[in-house]
Structure 1
Amino acid sequence: MIQIIIFSILLISIMGTFITELIIGMLWILKIRKKAPLNNIVLKLKRNTVILGSLFILILILIIFSYFSTDTPIIVDKNGNPLPKSIAELRKVQLNGRQEWISIRGENKNNPVLLFLAGGPGGTQMAAVRYNLQKLEKNFVVVNWDQPGSGKSYYAANVKNLNVNTYVQDGYALTKYLCKTFKKDKIYLVGESWGSALGIFLSEKYPEKYYSFVGTGQMVDFSKTEELDYENAIKIAQIKNNTNKITKLRSNGHPPYYGTDVTWKSAEYLNYLSSYMQKDPGIYNSHFNTWRDISSSEYNLVDKINFLWGLTNTFNHVYPQLYSIDLRKNYAKVKIPIYFFIGRRDINAPISLVEDYYNVLRAPHKEIVWFEHSGHSPWINESDKFVNQLNKILIDK
């Protein structure tokens, strides 16, 4: 948080200095016309130029410092001593010619590997998973992947070149890398929201690489989801007599959206639904701690900016590509066990679509685990239960 504040102050200072330069420059021109002495103006120009240059240098130093100071905290015992078999590191990996970042955390590097697929597209959840699912590190080596176009991997590829296949192929390349690195034949796969769809894509195409898949905040039919979310937002706004929200939603038109403002039009109803869930007393721990996550040690100053860019630019480009996907039709057969961890109060990813998919899904084993006090994010809303259920179905079985 301190880094963000400092960075903001510096940007404001630069803008202020730049504006001052313009004003002084204009005064200089006026004084030239009046043939007035210029010594004072020249001194001010020199002084402000030095200030501006110093600020740029200071920002550069901060960026360089933050780049080399990023890390993920070491794992320690109750006395604060590092666990001898633990692993806690950020690692840059080469995936199909793209440089992408992962975090690796576990109390014992010999434990089974679990790859967590973040939501989005464009989302990064390295810090969020570390905070909310830290207990998962006891029995697993937990790997978080900043997908291309998100967080630390924002520049891995040109956002305009990203497509669904990019994520599938890079996810598979990462899976092979993890199997080789940790000497495993297979790994476990967990995906949330957009990551829950990506997890199904990977499980269906490369079943030999995964023991099982757990989807939470499960996405099924992207186009239908947007339609239902939009209609639900209007219904809630009508109940609350929120005429401004109704007017805004209707002026945006009915989804799905295309073009350059997909993110902002979608955010109009998605944020409204998220706000509604945050105020639901039946949902535990309902607030995302975005500022805590974005200010965590995993991200340098540039990453912090890209944390936000991924959620806007990458989402805007990739999400419309998902409208044609319906797991009920395209992914009705998967050759590994499939589990759905679903929040009973989720109004973002419609529960009816998850139940429809469950009914048509053919898999060696399938199961819905309900989280009665969760919305779209059981891994945050009921994190202890989430960890316990994962241990139960993945370790105990």
Structure 2
Amino acid sequence: MDAQRVGPASRRSATLTTALALVAAVVLSLPVLLLPLTTAVPLPLWLALLLACLAAVAWIVLRRQKAKDKLYGLAATALLAAAAVAASQAFAATPPILDRDGRPLPGSIASMEEVELNGTRQWVTIRGHDTANPVLLNLGMGGPGGGGFFNAMEFRTLEEHFTVVSWDEPGTGKSYGAVPFEELDRERFVADAAALTELLRNRFNQERIYLYGVSWSSIVGIWLVQEHPELYHAFISSGQMVNTVENDRLGYERALRHLEEQGDTGSAEKLRRNGPPPYGGDNLVAPYVDYLDVLNDIMGTPRYSLIVPVIPFFVPEYGYIDKINHTRGLVNSFNAVYPQLEHLDFVKDAPVLDIPVFFFVGRYDVNAMAPLVEEYYTMLAAPHKELVWLDGGHGLGSADNQDVFMDVMLTRVRPLSGAAG
């Protein structure tokens, strides 16, 4: 009788162990399963890793009566996951620019390169249909800590007319370990961006290039053209930051008012507990994200708490480690740099810029507050300036706004270089 009771119990235990091992194997297989969606790993290599993973899972199922065999299967799956991570890093690349027949376009450039800037190794992508075109340097996404690889897709339509260089600034993405976080400050960013500009001017034999910034990198852009106007045809920005403390205060108040109007008393109370910005302490990101997520809800854009960790996983220039480092870099860079912006006020500190300026402004932007940008634009003295209104909130994401951006860049910005259309 004891033997009869032990038999079914043993089978149930083996079934449960096998089920748990299968769940663990699936989780361990995720780096392999996601390779074609999130990396530039070649298809044949992915198929080989996938077949090996399937074999390991089959081993776990077929050898379900022996715990040791399940461990062997899980160990094999873990090794395959590690191989997938290594492959994602080794094969990270920017996609080629192809002609209508699917072949690399003659005269085009599509490269991802490590460059030396002031004694450090940092990364850029360089993309364009013709290397004789004017150079456009994309300083990177918001943050501090949002890399240029993160938002490079916004410039794909311009690559026929510009050589677009996107920079992963020190401390993020592929440039994650370039500089200790405690060394990140205005001088570092300006010096490195200026060094990158000089490198591009020499490489492409151009006296001046174009400069683009968005949100945080629009701050770097203003600093850069203040100190080195002779290097640039024009400065272009979207989500222009003007006064971070005033911008954040207005954003906090708008978020709190929205939550109260929506009857979300729990989230409103959380904002009240945080209090208005600026914030201090070791983790600045959390209280800022609490109200910035609400502002994104107002604008109908994805929350930062969602897009910051997810979007890098769909950047083919990043391997898996780079994708993680982009999120780590944004958090660490924000904590290190954002407090340094507490006294930023371009109305007082940058009333004159010696090159043409183009501000693309979301009409209902409550992240980079449109009224602050408009106020700065009104008083700004520049050889030429334009404020271009975009529909909706922050950024160039919609097709209509991309069309507006493209039109202005080709008809009013690019001619400043003297290049033929």
Instruction: Tell me whether the two structures share a fold, i.e. TM-score over 0.5.
Output: yes
- What residue number does 2:146 align with? 123
Separation in 2, partners of 1:172, 1:396: 23
- What residue number does 1:237 align with? 259
TM-score (norm 2): 0.79
Separation in 2, partners of 1:376, 1:321: 24
User: Cα distance, 1:54 vs. partner?
Assistant: 4.4
User: Cα distance, 1:159 vs. partner?
Assistant: 1.7
- What residue number does 1:326 align with? 345
Separation in 1, partners of 2:325, 2:308: 17
SS in 2 for 1:378: coil
- What residue number does 2:48 align with? none
Say whether the 8 Å CA contact 1:133–1:387 is kept in structure 2: no
Q: 2:114 aligns with which of 83, 92, 116?
A: 92
Separation in 2, partners of 1:76, 1:364: 38
SS in 2 for 1:155: coil
User: Cα distance, 1:293 vs. partner?
Assistant: 4.6
Say whether the 8 Å CA contact 2:29–2:78 is kept in structure 1: no
- What residue number does 2:237 align with? 215
When residues 175 and 4 of structure 1 are mapped into structure 2, their CA distance, relative to the original with a 3 A threshold, is: farther
Matches within 5 A, 1:9-88: 54=76, 57-88=79-110
SS in 1 for 2:151: helix
SS in 2 for 1:310: helix
- What residue number does 2:406 align with? 387
Say whether the 8 Å CA contact 2:129–2:161 is kept in structure 1: yes
Across the aligned residues of Structure 1 and Structure 2, the Cα RMSD in angstroms comes to 2.6
- What residue number does 1:338 align with? 357
When residues 234 and 4 of structure 1 are mapped into structure 2, their CA distance, relative to the original with a 3 A threshold, is: farther
- What residue number does 2:58 align with? none
- What residue number does 2:12 align with? none
- What residue number does 1:376 align with? 394
- What residue number does 2:369 align with? 350
Separation in 2, partners of 1:52, 1:229: 49
When residues 353 and 5 of structure 1 are mapped into structure 2, their CA distance, relative to the original with a 3 A threshold, is: farther
User: Cα distance, 1:67 vs. partner?
Assistant: 1.6
- What residue number does 2:316 align with? 297
Matched, 1:360 2:368: no
Separation in 2, partners of 1:85, 1:363: 36
Counterpart of 1:278, as a letter, is G
- What residue number does 2:30 align with? 6
Say whether the 8 Å CA contact 1:3–1:295 is kept in structure 2: no
Matches within 5 A, 1:107-118: 107-118=129-140
Say whether the 8 Å CA contact 2:30–2:81 is kept in structure 1: no
- What residue number does 1:202 align with? 224
Separation in 1, partners of 2:235, 2:402: 18
Matches within 5 A, 1:132-171: 132-171=154-193
User: Cα distance, 1:220 vs. partner?
Assistant: 0.1
Say whether the 8 Å CA contact 1:4–1:295 is kept in structure 2: no
When residues 103 and 322 of structure 1 are mapped into structure 2, their CA distance, relative to the original with a 3 A threshold, is: same
Separation in 2, partners of 1:123, 1:187: 22
User: Cα distance, 1:340 vs. partner?
Assistant: 0.7
Separation in 2, partners of 1:149, 1:312: 10
Counterpart of 1:80, as a letter, is G
Larger relative contact order (Cα-Cα within 8 Å, sequence gap ≥ 6): 1
Counterpart of 2:335, as a letter, is N
Say whether the 8 Å CA contact 1:334–1:362 is kept in structure 2: yes
Counterpart of 1:126, as a letter, is F
Say whether the 8 Å CA contact 1:3–1:301 is kept in structure 2: no
Alignment: residue pair count: 355
When residues 396 and 180 of structure 1 are mapped into structure 2, their CA distance, relative to the original with a 3 A threshold, is: closer
User: Cα distance, 1:95 vs. partner?
Assistant: 0.7
Say whether the 8 Å CA contact 1:128–1:293 is kept in structure 2: no
Say whether the 8 Å CA contact 2:144–2:334 is kept in structure 1: yes
- What residue number does 2:329 align with? 310
Moved more, 49-58 or 271-280: 49-58
Separation in 1, partners of 2:28, 2:197: 34
Q: Kindly provide the CA deviation profile for residues 319-341 of structure 1, in whole angstroms up to 9, marking residues without a partner as x.
A: 11111111111111111111111
- Among the aligned pairs, what percent are the same residue? 39
Any gaps of 5 or more consecutive residues in structure 1? 11-42, 281-286
Separation in 2, partners of 1:137, 1:56: 40
Q: Kindly provide the CA deviation profile for residues 167-195 of structure 1, in whole angstroms up to 9, marking residues without a partner as x.
A: 11111010001111111111001111111
Separation in 1, partners of 2:86, 2:232: 39
Say whether the 8 Å CA contact 2:174–2:322 is kept in structure 1: yes
SS in 2 for 1:133: helix
Separation in 1, partners of 2:194, 2:279: 30
